C-alpha cells in the first residue's frame, strides 16, 4: 500500500501518462514507464534496486539489465513495465536502464512540462 | 523553392513523426510526407533504443523511444548482396557497408541514439530508413532534442512555406 501511495503522489492526475517524474509510452499490451531516479539501495543478490525522487521511493527489478553498474547516489533512467504485486507493492520491471549522472534535473522537469503542453496543443490542433 | 525542407533532416518528436501524412509521388521520386502542407522526406530523432532485431548481412531493425512515442528504424546491412547496390561503384558500396555495420554494432539496447534517415512506410506505419546513427553519451541529449523539436516546430515547421 505504501508504494501505491507513492504512486498517487507521483501522478499528476488520475491517469498513468501524467506521472510527475515519468514519461510514458505504450507498447502493444502494456503501459511502460520511463523513470528518472537516484539510486538509494541495490542488492546484487536479488537485483532489486530502491530508487528515490524526493520523498517518493520505487522498487526496480533489474534482473534483465546487463552492462550497467549500480552506484549508490547516482541517477539512473529506467524503462519498463509497472507491476502491482498482490500485496499492492509497485515494482518496475526494468527492460532498459542507464546511468545519467550529469543530467540537469531542473532542465529535465521544466522541459517535460513544456513537452506535455506541446503534445496537448498538438492533440487539440491535429496536423493535416 | 516550393518545399525548402524537403531534403533536410527535420528534427521531429516521435509522436509528430508518426502523424505525418504520406503523399504519393511519381517515380523515381520516393514517397514523401506532409506536415501541415510542408513536404518532408528526411528526419532526425533522438531516443532510447528499446528493441533490437539483428539479421546479419540483411538488416538491423530497432525501435527508438523519445518519450512521446516509439519510432521503428531499419538499417540495411545487405549492401554487398543487394542487386540495387551492384549497379553502383564497388568501393563506394564497401564504404557504405562498413559504415552500416559500424552503426549496427553501436545500436545497443538502452543506448540513446540520434538517428537520421529517410522517412518511409512499412505496413502502414511511418519508420526511418537509417542513413546514420550516433550514440549520444550526453545525459542531456534527449532533453535538448525535445527543446529543439518544439522550437523548430513552432518557428519553422509550422510556418508553411508559400507555394509558387
Query: Which of A67, A74, A96 is the best substitution to test chain B (most B C-beta atoms within 10 A)?
Result: A96
Best CA proximity match to B44, nearest among B158, B154, B144:
B144
For the CA atoms of B92, B96, B98, B100, what is the dihedral angle to 10 degrees? -170
Quick one: residue B127, left, alpha or beta (phi over 0 = left, psi -120 to 50 = alpha)? beta
Nearest-neighbour CA in chain A from B106: distance (Å): 14
Alpha carbons B61 and B43: distance in angstroms, whole number: 17
Class of domain B9-157: mainly beta
Query: Where exactly are the structural domains of chain B?
Result: 9-157
**Average pLDDT of A79-84?**
83
C-beta atoms surrounding B107 within 10 Å: 20
Q: How many domains does the structure of chain A reveal? A: 1
Q: List the CATH number of the domain containing A93.
A: 2.40.50.140
Cell, residue A30: 502494456
Residue A50 and residue A73 in contact, taking contact as beta carbons nearer than 8 Å: no
Tell me the residue ranges of DSSP E strands in A1-128: 22-26, 31-43, 48-53, 56-61, 75-84, 90-99
User: A123 CB contacts (<8 Å, ≥6 apart)?
Assistant: none
Q: What predicted TM-score, i.e. pTM, was given to this entire model?
A: 0.82
The tens digit of pLDDT for each residue in A37-66 reads 889 999 999 999 999 887 788 899 999 998
Q: Does residue B135 belong to the interface with chain A, where contact is any CB pair within 8 Å?
A: no
User: A109 CB contacts (<8 Å, ≥6 apart)?
Assistant: A21
- In a domain? residue A116: no
Residue B125 and residue A90 in contact, taking contact as beta carbons nearer than 8 Å: no
- In a domain? residue A125: no
Alpha carbons B163 and B34: distance in angstroms, whole number: 14
* pLDDT over 60 (residue A114): yes
SS3 content of chain B, % helix, strand, coil (to 5): 25, 40, 35
Q: Which ipTM did the prediction report? A: 0.84
Alpha carbons B114 and B12: distance in angstroms, whole number: 12
Cβ separation B65–A79 shorter than 8 A: yes
Alpha carbons B17 and B128: distance in angstroms, whole number: 9
DSSP designation for B153: I
The tens digit of pLDDT for each residue in B5-31 reads 888 999 999 999 999 999 877 655 567
Domain membership of residue A54 as a residue range: 3-102
Nearest-neighbour CA in chain B from A23: distance (Å): 5
Query: A-contacting residues of B 58-87, CB under 8 Å?
Result: 65, 67-70
The tens digit of pLDDT for each residue in B103-158 reads 999 999 989 999 999 999 999 899 999 999 999 999 999 999 999 999 999 998 88
Alpha carbons A65 and A73: distance in angstroms, whole number: 19
**Residues from chain B contacting residue A68 (CB–CB below 8 Å):** 110
Strands A75-84 and A31-43: antiparallel
Amino acid at each position: 500500500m505504501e508504494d501505491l501511495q507513492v504512486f498517487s503522489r507521483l501522478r499528476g492526475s488520475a491517469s498513468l501518462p501524467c506521472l510527475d517524474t515519468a514519461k510514458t509510452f505504450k507498447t502493444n499490451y502494456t503501459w511502460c514507464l520511463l523513470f528518472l531516479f537516484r539510486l538509494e539501495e541495490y542488492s546484487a543478490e536479488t537485483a532489486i534496486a530502491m530508487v528515490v525522487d524526493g520523498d517518493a521511493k520505487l522498487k526496480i527489478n533489474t534482473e534483465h539489465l546487463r552492462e550497467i553498474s549500480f552506484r549508490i547516489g547516482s541517477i539512473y533512467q529506467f524503462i519498463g513495465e509497472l507491476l502491482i504485486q498482490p500485496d499492492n507493492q509497485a515494482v518496475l520491471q526494468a527492460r532498459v536502464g542507464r546511468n545519467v549522472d550529469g543530467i540537469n534535473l531542473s532542465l529535465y522537469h521544466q522541459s517535460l512540462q513544456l513537452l506535455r503542453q506541446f503534445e496537448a496543443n498538438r492533440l487539440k490542433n491535429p496536423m493535416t | 523553392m516550393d518545399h525548402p525542407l524537403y531534403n533536410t533532416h527535420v528534427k521531429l518528436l516521435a509522436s509528430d513523426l508518426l502523424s505525418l501524412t504520406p503523399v504519393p509521388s511519381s517515380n523515381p521520386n520516393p514517397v514523401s510526407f506532409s506536415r501541415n502542407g510542408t513536404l518532408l522526406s528526411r528526419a532526425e530523432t533522438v531516443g532510447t533504443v528499446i528493441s533490437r532485431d539483428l539479421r546479419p548481412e540483411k538488416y538491423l531493425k530497432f525501435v527508438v523511444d523519445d518519450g512521446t512515442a516509439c519510432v521503428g528504424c531499419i538499417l540495411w546491412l545487405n549492401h554487398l548482396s543487394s542487386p540495387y547496390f551492384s549497379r553502383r561503384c564497388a568501393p563506394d558500396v564497401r564504404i557504405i557497408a562498413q559504415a552500416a555495420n559500424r552503426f549496427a554494432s553501436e545500436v545497443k539496447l538502452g543506448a540513446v541514439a540520434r538517428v537520421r534517415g529517410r522517412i518511409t512506410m512499412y505496413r502502414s506505419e511511418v519508420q526511418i530508413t537509417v542513413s546514420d546513427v550516433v550514440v549520444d553519451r550526453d545525459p542531456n541529449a534527449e532533453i535538448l532534442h525535445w527543446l529543439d523539436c518544439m522550437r523548430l516546430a513552432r518557428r519553422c515547421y509550422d510556418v508553411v512555406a508559400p507555394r509558387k
